[in-house]
Structure 1
């Protein structure tokens, strides 16, 4: 009989990081890996989809802030990803706003400004 940790790791591999279910192949800093990438983030209990107005200049209407989420195994990332660092995901550079690691899975809140 498997213990909880083994069952949890099996669920990660067979469901969450399964290419047929949630995950896709991505290239992160030149390394191919399986990850879940989405432009949906939960902010204060409400869903926020993709483009959000930047608050840097209230009169500016051409700049939008995109905050996608990336879920990836910690072992698939470079040595250490920290807030305010940059990663390249599928050829696009993103700022890392927040990093949370739970049970070997990293949740990265990324940010890119689009014009």
Structure 2
């Protein structure tokens, strides 16, 4: 077994395991294990940006297995996470794990 094969196996058995890092969420109507990374998002930018008049911009960063999610989503399209609508602002394939950034205007 090659190192890359071991990593692919670890993606499901360790990283997205609910006993380790994975959490079940509903993404576009499908239940799947993802990892919401609040710490990394805060490093990239603050999670909430005031837009005045009681509005703010909420940002979410999550990781999901390519094998579970399917095709890498296009930036600018709508994504529903746990019944809340977001716009995809960034989507990167990091060797079989998608890093997907979302944002939404809330009140």
If you compute each CA radius of gyration, which structure gives the higher value, 1 or 2? 1
CA distance in 2, matches of 1:80, 1:96: 11
Q: 5 Å matches for 1:86-97?
A: 86-97=78-89
- Residue 106 in structure 1 maps to residue 106 in structure 2: no
Following superposition, the deviation at residue 78 of structure 1 comes to 5.1
Q: TM-score, normalised by structure 2?
A: 0.84
CA distance in 1, matches of 2:27, 2:8: 22
Report the structure, 1 or 2, having the larger helix content: 2
For structure 2, the 5+ residue unaligned runs are none
- Residue 64 in structure 1 maps to residue 61 in structure 2: no
Q: Which runs of 4+ in 1 moved over 6 A?
A: none
Contact 1:87–1:96 (Cα < 8 Å) also in 2: yes
> What are the Cα deviations for residues 29-55 of structure 1, in whole angstroms up to 9, with x where unaligned?
111111112334122xxxx4522234x
Count of residues in correspondence between the two structures: 105
- Residue 3 in structure 1 maps to residue 7 in structure 2: no
Root-mean-square deviation (CA, aligned residues, Å) is 1.8
Where 1:8 maps in the other structure, the secondary structure is helix
For structure 1, the 5+ residue unaligned runs are 55-59
